[in-house]
Every structure is written in C-alpha cells, then in structure tokens.
Amino acid sequence: MTPFSHRKADTVAALGEERLISAIRRWLGDVSPPAPLGIGDDCAILPASKKAQAITVDPVIYRRHFDDSIPPCAVGAKLLKRNLSDLAAMGAKPRAAVVALTLDPRTRLDWLEKFYRGLAACARTYNLAIVGGDVAQADKILAASLTLIGEASGSRMLTRAGARSGDWIYVTGPLGGSLLGKHHRFTPRLSEGAWLAAHPEVRAMMDLSDGLAKDLHALTPSNAEPALDPALIPISPAARKLARDSKRTPLAHALGDGEDFELLFAVRKNSNRASFEKTWLRHFRQPLYCIGNFVSIGKRPAGSIDLNAHRGYEHLR
Amino acid sequence: MTPFSHRKADTVAALGEERLISAIRRWLGDVSPPAPLGIGDDCAILPASKKAQAITVDPVIYRRHFDDSIPPCAVGAKLLKRNLSDLAAMGAKPRAAVVALTLDPRTRLDWLEKFYRGLAACARTYNLAIVGGDVAQADKILAASLTLIGEASGSRMLTRAGARSGDWIYVTGPLGGSLLGKHHRFTPRLSEGAWLAAHPEVRAMMDLSDGLAKDLHALTPSNAEPALDPALIPISPAARKLARDSKRTPLAHALGDGEDFELLFAVRKNSNRASFEKTWLRHFRQPLYCIGNFVSIGKRPAGSIDLNAHRGYEHLR
C-alpha cells in the first residue's frame, strides 16, 4: 500500500493537526493513557520507579526501512519491535514510548490508521503504553522515530561490556536472509533477554541488527578475537534461499545480513554449558546456538572464520 | 550555511557510520557520558530516581524549523530548547536526552559538527547529558528528533488541567514576532517554571508554541472562557516591527504568532496577586503579565478579546 495520495480528502491535510492527534489517540485505544500520563500535556508523566531505566531510540523511514510492499500495520509493529529488541539486549522490559512522526501532508489517513493500529496491537502484546509524541510536517517524507523507556526485568541489566577471553559465544536463533520477511515479522527476544540477564553465566549481551560479522566486534574483549566455527553458525532457510541467486554462500548471508534481531551473548568460560543449555530448553522452544569462543589475539585456530573477509550492513554509503 | 555538499570529502558519506558516531561523541564532549550511561550500548542506562519522570519529544526539520540562514549551532540549541520549554511548562528540570538523526549522505560534516557543538553547549548550560541516539540515512532529508527526560524540580509537576473559572491568566513575557529571531534565540523558562510550580497559587501551566489564541484553549476550564484585556497583552517589539509590513495589527501578531516559548499559567482567583507578583520580582528581572481571567461561558465583558477572530499557527495545512 502506497502511503501518499493526491486526493486531499484521503489525506492528513484534510484533518488538520488537532483532529489528527485526536484520531491517533483513538487508533491507539487503551495503550494511550489519559493525560498527563499520556498524550495531551506538554510532557507525559511516567510514575516513579525504584529501578534504573533503559532508553533507546530507533526510526522507520519510508524507502529506507519499509516500502509499499510492507503492510502499514507491520511498519507500526516494526518500529516498536526494533526498539524492543534493544531492550531485550539489556534484559530489560518495556514501560513506555513516545513517537515523533514526520509526514507529508499528502499522507493517506487510512495508511496512518493502520500504522498506528499495528503499533498499538504490538504495544498491547508487550504491555507498554504509548505516552506521547509529536507530529511534524515535511515535504515528501514519511518517517517515525520511537523512543522507548524500560527497566530491568530482574536484578541486573546486561551490557555489551564484560566478555573475557575464553568465554563462549552464543546466538538465540538462525541468522541471515531477514530481507525475505523476518525484518518485519520477527519476535523481539524479550523473554529470552530477561532469562539470560537472570543467569550469572551470561557476561555480556547485544542484539544483532547489522549482521554478526559487524556486530560481534562490540562484544569482543580488547585482548581477544572471536573464533567462530563455520559448522556451528545456524543458517536460516531464508539465507539459503537468498544464496541461490546472490552468488554468495549461505554462510556469507548468515554472517553479513542485517536485521536478524536475535541476541548475541557471551557465556563465562568455566560454566556448565550442558546444564545451562538444558535449563534454557525448559523455557524456550528454540535451542541456543554456541558458535565459538573468544581466544587471545593471534590464537584463532585454523578453519575458524576470518571475519575480516565478511562485512555487515554498512550505513551511510 | 547550507547543510549539503556535492564534494564527498566534505560529507558524512566520507566517514561512514562508525566513524561518524565517534565524531558525534567527540563533538558532544563531556555531555556524553561513557556507555552504558551514554552512547555505545543497545540502550542507555539512566540511574534510578525517586521522582516521577517527565518525557517530551520535538524535532527540528530542514526547511520547516530552520533554513540556511540559521547557524547550525543555533539549530542544535533550538532542538534542545524546544524540548526544555516543554519541561519548563511542567516545572520540571532536565536529566537526559537522546537524539535521532536522519540525514542525507551529502550532509556536510562541518555543518553537523557545529550542530552537535551547539547542542552540547546548550546541554552543558542546563546540566543534562546526551545519553544516546540513532543515525539513519534518507535522501534529501536533514532532521533531528530529541526526546528529553526530566523530573520535578520541587515537590510537584504542573499540568495543563486545573484552572477554574475566575482564575487569573498570566504570561511570562512579551508575545509575537518570534520569526524575527526569538524562535531560536529564546531562553527556555526553566527557572521560572520551577518557581511557579513551587507556588500553590499557580494551578495550571503550559508553554506557548502555537500562539496564545490557539494554545489558551488547552488551559481553559470546560465551564469557562478566557476574558483577555487587549490593553494588558504584552506585545513584543518584534511583533510591532512585523506589523508594519504584514497589514495585521501588533496585537494580532502577539495573539497569533507561534514559537513564543513563554509560559502561560493560571493563578487561583483569591490569591494575593500583588504579593505574588512582588515575590516574583525578587527572583526574575522580567515582570509577570496578567492578561485577563477565566469567566463563565457567555460572561465575557465587552471590550475583551474575541479569540475566535484570531488564529494560532496551523500545522498540516
């Protein structure tokens, strides 16, 4: 569905700002609390919490993160889920979000309604409120930026720092080929992230958004390098499918494709991995994948993956 | 200064994403705390606070909120100050902000550096940290959206609700003509907002962004209407200047122009206004302006302003 129309009656310009904001509150329904806890005052008030808060922001931009082929409700859900994946990476749970919308006055009202209803349905699933936002006009743009606030689901939040040489490297699911649909159909790994943060074996965690080959650097201790076993990388069926036409290997897709939205984490080298993985399987259907470990620089075994030969998603090119 | 260049060496495309983010951290300097309290992890962690939090989001968009005539450092400051004005309207003080940047790869690095340095200087003035953000690429766009988190500076936050029929209507400064420079040179009324929230005479408050004629509706109790005395409206010199060419009266500019960024508030009808105003003057150089009061619907005295004859700034037209 294309988001723009030249028939003014079909567009946001027919409504004007005030009525548009009323419509947005109606579309959001019960995930939009009354002011001042939600939309309608200069700020939204978020009740006090005893915990540290986690903040993240990510946008969706027309022709960049979605196009006419993605249903608008899926665009709304993707906007929230991209941010939820960042919370999952800390072992945090969501509390509230604000949405800054930038749109061309020719934006179709029915596109926008489906976008907000998709966003609301997703917010409802994850039990968070959409508490505020902004609507700004600009030519030939349709973009929304969501800022998400959460807090630890247990006693700690996990960061990217903390892995050590010798630690095992894990991912929560098969990688690559997200472009074929997972990029907007994925489930953010919130329960998984919370479970992992509650287990002291896990020392560091992040989510995979730009491809394993690129993202893994951020988890790698400064005195180490990753030694990944090519036979252990879980390759998604979509990565295999893409490889048929792309002249790249399925493994190259698994290492290089963006928007996996799986969790990548490091497990303490002396932990009882068998017991850790077995306990995991009591809670989650999909197994954990141990794909290698961190070794001292220069000690990467023969046959392990040379990540310099692979690239993740490059922005600003 | 125009923000785009066709010489790749001058643009963000020459740097790529990772080096651009490093540059942004350098430009932000000491207002960018180390991860996970700042940029560099999946989320930024904000330490626990005993107080309720206030959240607001506002953007600046090229050709909408700024153009080539505004220095980039002033654009950065304006982005933050627009949001600070919303916190001021609650009597809140700022804690932390995240910035979502959307830019064309042809965006000039020196423009962006000045933008971030202007933002950082402003953040330093108001003692808040820039803790995170996102950089996304899109064609022919330069926009930044800032989400600001704050908390009550005293024991309460003030909302737009709470004014009653009979209450006095005040503003903190002269109105109109912001277009001539105040729209980016204004000082957000944070100290004033904090002072007003600490005084129980004040029942409701908001900031003026779309013009008094439009914004005042949000403060008006449902059983009342505002009775404004045209002789009491403080008209800025810029409004008078604009009126010389615009074929509108200075008063029309004061009532209708956007981006005043002054505070508008209601004072309990039985308060000792003389003492209230005198105490104010011990703290602030600029006097308070009482511009009228709320009266029962239909009881507006002859000679008071008919707000229906005036319009504020209309979005999405």
B67 is in an annotated binding site: no
Does some domain include residue A313?
no
Instruction: Give residue B52's pLDDT.
Output: 96
Among partner residues A40, A46, A159, which is closest to B52 by beta-carbon distance?
A: A46
pLDDT of residue A264: 98
**Domain CATH code at residue A51:** 3.30.1330.10
Answer whether A42 sits within 8 Å of B35, measured CB to CB. Answer: no
**Would A314 be classed as within a structural domain?**
no
pLDDT in tens, A163-186: 999 999 999 999 999 999 999 999
Does residue A130 sit in the same domain as residue A208?
Answer: no
Inter-chain residue contact B98 with A55, CB threshold 8 Å: yes
User: Which residues of chain B have a CB within 8 Å of the CB of A145?
Assistant: 57, 59, 100, 102, 134, 145
CA distance A259 to A277: 25
* Confidence check: pLDDT of B6 > 70: yes
Read off the DSSP letter of residue B56.
E
> Is the pLDDT at A213 greater than 70, yes or no?
yes
Q: Average pLDDT over chain A, rounded to whole?
A: 96
Interface test with A, best of B10, B19, B43 (most A CBs within 10 A): B43
Determine the average pLDDT of the residues in B88-115: 97
The answer to whether the CB of B227 falls within 8 A of the CB of B301 is yes
- Smallest CA–CA separation between B13 and chain A, in Å? 5
Determine the length of chain A.
317
Q: Which residues of A touch B57 (CB under 8 A)?
A: 98-100, 132-134, 145, 147
Flag whether B161 is in a domain: no
pLDDT score recorded for residue B160:
98
End-of-domain residue from the set B122, B152, B182:
B152
Domain boundary among A128, A152, A176: A152
Is residue B278 within a helix (H) or strand (E), and if so which, with residue range?
A: helix B273-283
A12, A42, A146: best to mutate for the B interface, most B CBs within 10 A: A42
Residue B314 in any domain: the answer is no
Quick one: which of A205, A220, A218 has its CA closest to A157? A205
Kind and range of the H or E element at B172?
Answer: none
Residue B317 has pLDDT above 60, yes or no: no
Residue A308 falls inside a structural domain = no
How many structural domains does chain B have? 2
Helix (H) or strand (E) holding B14: none
Flag whether B210 is marked binding: yes
Is the per-residue pLDDT at A226 higher than 70? yes
B75 DSSP 8-state letter: H
Whether this model's ipTM surpasses 0.85 comes out as: yes
Q: Is residue A234 part of a domain?
A: yes
- The pLDDT score that the predictor gives to residue B182 is 96
**CA–CA distance, A224 with A226 (Å, rounded to integer):** 7
Give the contacts of A267 (CB within 8 A, at least 6 positions apart): A167, A168, A169, A170, A201, A202, A203, A273, A276, A290
Q: Among residues of chain B, what percentage have pLDDT more than 90?
A: 95
Residues A218, A250 within the same domain: yes
Cβ within 8 Å, pair B45-A54:
yes
Q: pLDDT tens-digit profile of B223-241?
A: 999 999 999 999 999 999 9
- How sure is the predictor about B16, in pLDDT bands with cuts at 50, 70 and 90? confident
Instruction: Please give the Cα distance from B239 to B249 (Å, whole number).
Output: 9
Q: CA–CA separation, B80 vs A280, rounded Å?
A: 44
Distance from C-alpha of A135 to C-alpha of A3, rounded to nearest angstrom:
16
Cβ atoms within 10 A of the Cβ of A313, count? 17
What is the per-residue pLDDT for B1? 85
Residues B144 and B177 in one domain: no
Chain A residue with CA closest to B41: the answer is A160
Residue (of B58, B22, B14) closest to B259 by Cα position: B58
* pLDDT, position A313: 67
Q: Is A111 in contact with A150 (CB distance < 8 Å)?
A: no
The pLDDT assigned to B315 comes to 64
Residues A186 and A142 in one domain: no
Bridge partners (DSSP) listed for residue B295? B225
For residue B207, list chain A residues with Cβ-Cβ distance below 8 A: 42
Mean pLDDT to the nearest integer, A191-207 = 98
Q: What is the pLDDT confidence band of residue B25, given thresholds at 50, 70 and 90?
A: very high
- Asked if residue B12 and residue B148 are part of one domain, the reply reads yes
Separation of CA B61 from chain center = 15
> In Å, how far is A231's CA from the nearest CA of chain B?
28
Pairing state between β B44-46 and A53-61: antiparallel
Q: Is the pLDDT of residue B314 over 80?
A: no
Residue of A nearest to B219 (CA): A41
Residues A93 and A193 in one domain: no
Residue A158 pLDDT? 97
What CATH number does residue A189 fall under? 3.90.650.10
Q: How many CB pairs under 8 A join A and B?
A: 235
DSSP string, chain A: --SB-S-GGGBGGGT-HHHHHHHHHHHHGGGSPPTTSSBTBSSEEE--BSS-EEEEEEEEEBTTTB-TTS-HHHHHHHHHHHHHHHHHTTTEEEEEEEEEEEE-TTBBHHHHHHHHHHHHHHHHHTT-EEEEEEEEE-TT-EEEEEEEEEEESSS----S----TT-EEEESS-BS-GGGTHHHH----HHHHHHHHT-TTEEEEEE-SS-HHHHGGGGS-TTEEEEE-GGGSPBPHHHHHHHHHHSS-HHHHHHH-S----EEEEE-TTS-HHHHHHHHHHH-SSPPEEEEEEEETT-PPTTS--GGG---PPS--
B112, part of any domain:
yes
- C-alpha span between B86 and B218 (Å, rounded): 14
Q: Of A92, A258, A81, whose CA–CA distance to A159 is shortest?
A: A92
Are A147 and A174 in a shared domain? no
Q: What is the pLDDT of residue A194?
A: 98
Indicate whether A134 and A240 sit together in one domain: no
Residue A239 pLDDT exceeds 60: yes
Token digits of residue B75: 């654009």
Residue B160 DSSP label: S
Q: Which residue has the tokens 């003492």?
A: B275
Residue of B41, B98, B109, B131 for testing the chain A interface, max A β-carbons within 10 Å = B41
Residue B173 sits in the same domain as residue B244 = yes
**Please, which residues have CB within 8 angstroms of residue B189's CB and are 6 or more apart in sequence?**
B85, B88, B172, B173, B207, B261, B262, B263
Average pLDDT (A179-196) is 97
- What pLDDT is attached to residue B313? 67
- pLDDT of A309 reads 83
Structural domain harbouring A71: 8-152
A10 annotated as a binding-site residue: no
Burial B131-154 (b: 16+ CB within 10 A, else e): bbbbbbbbeebbbbbbbbbbbbbe
Please indicate if the annotation marks A210 as binding a ligand: yes
| Domain identity same for B117 and B201 | no
**Distance in angstroms (rounded) separating the CA atoms of residues A185 and A77:** 9
- Residue A60: inside a domain: yes
Q: Is A296 annotated as a binding residue?
A: no
Domain end (from B152, B182, B211): B152
User: What percentage of chain B reaches a pLDDT higher than 70?
Assistant: 98
The closest CB to that of B61, out of A16, A98, A138, belongs to A138
Q: Are residues A61 and A108 located together in one domain of the fold?
A: yes
pLDDT tens digits, B34-78: 999 999 999 999 999 999 999 999 999 999 999 999 999 999 999
Average pLDDT over residues B235-255: 96
Please compute the mean of the pLDDT values over residues A53-72 and round it to a whole number. Answer: 95
pLDDT band at A316 (very low <50, low <70, confident <90, very high): low
pLDDT at A259 over 60: yes
| In the predicted structure, residue B205 carries a pLDDT above the cut 90 | yes
Q: Which residues contact B255 (CB under 8 A, 6 or more apart)?
A: B175, B176, B211, B212, B213, B233, B305, B307, B310, B312
Residue in A closest to B99 by C-alpha: A57
Q: Which residues of B touch A46 (CB under 8 A)?
A: 52-55
> Among B66, B77, B86, B73, which Cα is nearest to B148's?
B86
Q: Are A242 and A176 in contact (CB under 8 A)?
A: yes
Q: What is the mean pLDDT of residues A204-211?
A: 97
* Together in a domain, A146 and A226: no
